[in-house]
Amino acid sequence: MSKIKNTIEQINNDGKKALSVFLTSGFPTIDKFLYNTNRIIEAGADLIELGMPFSDPLADGGVIQQSSQIALQNGITQKQTFQFAEQIRKCNNTPLILMGYANTIMQYGKEQFEQDAINAGVDGLIIPDVPLEEFDDFFSSFSDKLDKVLLTTPTSDNDRIITLDNKSTGFLYCVSVSGTTGVRSGFDDKIIENLKSTYQIVNNNKMLVGFGISKPENIKQLSPFADGFIVGSAIIKSLQNESIDETINLIKSLKHACEV
């Protein structure tokens, strides 16, 4: 069984929600990255999404775009990202998911990419520019050793959500709002209604909600309609502007909201 799915299930069985944290590989610096990541895991991240920086990240808002740019300027390479994964895996058993764009995998070589990811202890992939329509073709050479997480959005109709749910492994990533990643002021009734209806349709997978989750209040508000939450831009912003201790406090407060 999928380690990712298993982890989320166990947390849910304890009456809690899972907290998945997105971190851009090699950001804010190559040196700080591992230390920060390990502290974030200690502070309560249940899953880590390791962002593979790409020069043209279409699905990302300003904060993650900028962090990718900085990581690339720091000299991050895909080989180094696999090394980070391996080192994180050595210290603990938290599920690791690589998140990034199709071209990174293509240029690395699909078979080599899968092999190196498995060897590094990676558990799954989230590739937002490989939608359902391209999925079978793109991943045709892949085994099922790595979970492939699909995304559902407010523009996905019910039939499509069912197909996405059937195809996705690990969990189903529910994008709360139409748009790119990034902090938002809040969630209106329409968004809540949509989440509620999506959550009812999704049966095959655990559903984690992401995009615009930045503070404990968001988690409290959306808790009835999710098995867990994904936080990205808020953490990246904090890592860029504040000390790591502030970031750890943010993680702890989000974790607390997941446990209430």
Partner 1 sequence: MEQQTMYNQPSTAGKFGEFGGRFVPETLMSALHELEETYNSVKSDPDFLAELNDLQKNYNGRETPLTFANRLTDHYGKGKIYLKREDLNHTGAHKMNNTLGQILLAKRLGKTRIIAETGAGQHGVATATVCAKFGLECTVYMGEVDIERQEMNVFRMKMLGAKVVPVTSGSKTLKDATNEAIRDWVTNVENTHYIIGSVVGPHPYPMIVRDFQSIIGEETKTQINNFEGRNPDYIIACVGGGSNAIGIFYPFINNPEVKLIGIEAGGYGIDTDKHCATLTLGRPGVFQGMNTYLLQDKDGQISEVHSISAGLDYPGVGPEHSLLKDLNRVQYSSITDDEALDAALQLSRLEGILPALESSHALAHLKYLMPNTNKDDIVVINLSGRGDKDLNTFINKIKF
Residue 111 sits in the site that holds partner 1 (CB under 8 A) = no
Task: Find the binding residues for partner 1 in span 5-44 (CB under 8 A).
Answer: none
The stretch near partner 1 (CB under 8 A) out of 10-18, 37-45, 102-110, 223-231 is 102-110
Integer Cα distance of 176 and 42 in angstroms: 27
Integer Cα distance of 96 and 217 in angstroms: 26
Integer Cα distance of 117 and 104 in angstroms: 13
Residue 103 sits in the site that holds partner 1 (CB under 8 A) = yes
| Annotation says 245 is catalytic | no
Q: Report, in Å, the least distance between residue 257 CB and partner 1.
A: 26
Q: Within the chain, what is the greatest distance between any pair of CA atoms?
A: 46
| Annotation says 49 is catalytic | yes
Which position among 89, 179, 221, 259 is part of the footprint of partner 1 (CB under 8 A)?
179
Query: In sequence order, what are the residues at sequence separation of 6 or more whose Cβ sits closer than 8 angstroms to the Cβ of residue 29?
Result: 74
Task: Find the binding residues for partner 1 in span 75-94 (CB under 8 A).
Answer: 77-78
**229: which strand partners?**
19, 209
For partner 1, the closer of residues 177 and 248 by Cβ is 177
Residue 178 sits in the site that holds partner 1 (CB under 8 A) = yes
Question: Sign of the C-alpha dihedral, residues 138, 140, 141, 147?
Answer: positive
- Give me the amino acid identity at 205: N
Integer Cα distance of 164 and 229 in angstroms: 18
Which position among 13, 140, 155, 203 is part of the footprint of partner 1 (CB under 8 A)?
155
Q: Report, in Å, the least distance between residue 155 CB and partner 1.
A: 4
Residue 55 sits in the site that holds partner 1 (CB under 8 A) = yes
Residue 240 sits in the site that holds partner 1 (CB under 8 A) = no
Residue 152 sits in the site that holds partner 1 (CB under 8 A) = yes
How far is Cα of residue 30 from the mean position of the Cα atoms in its chain? 20
For partner 1, the closer of residues 57 and 95 by Cβ is 57
Can you read off the two tokens belonging to residue 167?
């195809």
**Active-site pick, 46, 49, 123, 147:** 49
Nearest to 235 by CA among 80, 63, 82, 69: 63
Integer Cα distance of 160 and 79 in angstroms: 35
For partner 1, the closer of residues 107 and 243 by Cβ is 107
Catalytic residues: 49, 60
Q: By the criterion CB under 8 A, which residues form the site for partner 1?
A: 54-56, 58-59, 61, 65, 69, 72, 77-78, 101-104, 106-108, 128-134, 137, 150-157, 160, 164, 175, 178-180
